[in-house]
Amino acid sequence: MSRTIEELLAAPVFGSSQAEKEATLLPLLNALTAHHAAHCAPYDRLLAGTGATRVASRLADVPWLPVGLFKSHELVSVGAPDVFKVMTSSGTTGQAVSRIILDQRTADLQTRALVRIMTHVLGPDRLPMLVLDTKSIIRNRTQFAARGAGVLGMMTFGRNAVWALDDEMDLDIPAVEAFLAKHGNAPFLMFGFTFMAWKYFIQRLADRGLDLSQGILVHSGGWKKLQDEAVDNATFRARLQAMTGLHRIYNFYGMVEQVGSVFLEGDDGFLYPPAFADVIIRDPETWDEAPVGTPGVIQVLSALPHSYPGHSILTEDMGIVHSVDANTTGRGGKAFTVIGRAPRAELRGCSDVHAFAAST
């Protein structure tokens, strides 16, 4: 079943079975492998040097690049006149960062994909928005770091945005209370990176009695530091609901190397790939696809990247596929969780980086 990326972006975002995903994604990913091999010489040499399959017969055979290559090499498949934006990953001082080159087509696809995913939980209307961060992160727009780009991307789904933290990362209680007085009786959007939301917002709400029951919280990243503090996803959700009445809470997994292809949490607490993306869990010893229920390294697939060879990336994160097509929440495909960083992987991720900086 051959479908274009345009058709996939118009399809139900979480409605595909795994068999349907194999049939629709594989031709698109094979076409991207050929496109990038033809227009990105380093990628072509990597395929040749590793003997990778250029025409995969299943999703698990699509050749992948280690995510670290985007830190050491500039991988681009379009000419300089077509470069629209350069995005960088988060990194502490001295760490290399990924540089992701976007053309207009890739940026447009990313935006449309993100809209399809987020409207699944937010609905079609732009909601009043409380940003669980400080405005200082978006003041320099000439080159987007991942955290600022993530906030700006989510702000397209909100309106009348209010920043919950001041420049010193202190909770701006008057601003939050004024926001809730104006918008707290109807659905509103909240967005923040997970560790920062926990450390600078949730923990400082204690005993203030704020009612966030109409809120929809979307958050991502930073689980390594929270796991160090024995806070898992269930604890995070339970604490928020008990303190504030907030119950619509959606974690997502994503990265600057594949913006737009985010994996959004369902009501069952598992992450699900959208129609235009998928995950493979790989055994770190054999690099074969790991069976359901077996932890391994996460590989992410996306039909969106046209300007750089990022359609198949081996991450530095560990995960588990818990079921395939169990369809407990109306979502098909793989239900998975992220369980941590691969051994010896660099610290990365917007709020992991902030947590590291704050602790040193």
Place of tokens 């996306």: 302
Grouped pLDDT means (10 residues each) for the chain, 360 residues: 86 92 96 98 94 95 94 93 85 72 94 92 94 83 64 89 92 94 96 89 82 95 72 86 92 88 91 96 96 97 97 95 88 91 59 47
Q: Which of 90, 188, 194, 190 is nearest to 137 (CA)?
A: 90
Q: What is the pLDDT of residues 223-282, one digit of tens each?
A: 667 777 778 888 888 888 988 999 999 999 988 889 888 999 998 889 999 999 999 999
For a pLDDT cut of 70, what percent of the chain falls above it?
Answer: 91
The pLDDT tens digits of the residues spanning 175-193 come to 999 999 999 999 999 999 8
3 state SS of 267? coil
Quick one: three-class SS letters along 293-324? CCCEEEEEEECCCCCCCCCEEEEEEEEEEEEE
Write down the pLDDT at residue 91. 59
Whole-structure pTM value:
0.86
Report the sign of the C-alpha dihedral through residues 101, 104, 105, 107, in that order: positive
What is the pLDDT, as a whole number, of residue 146? Answer: 66
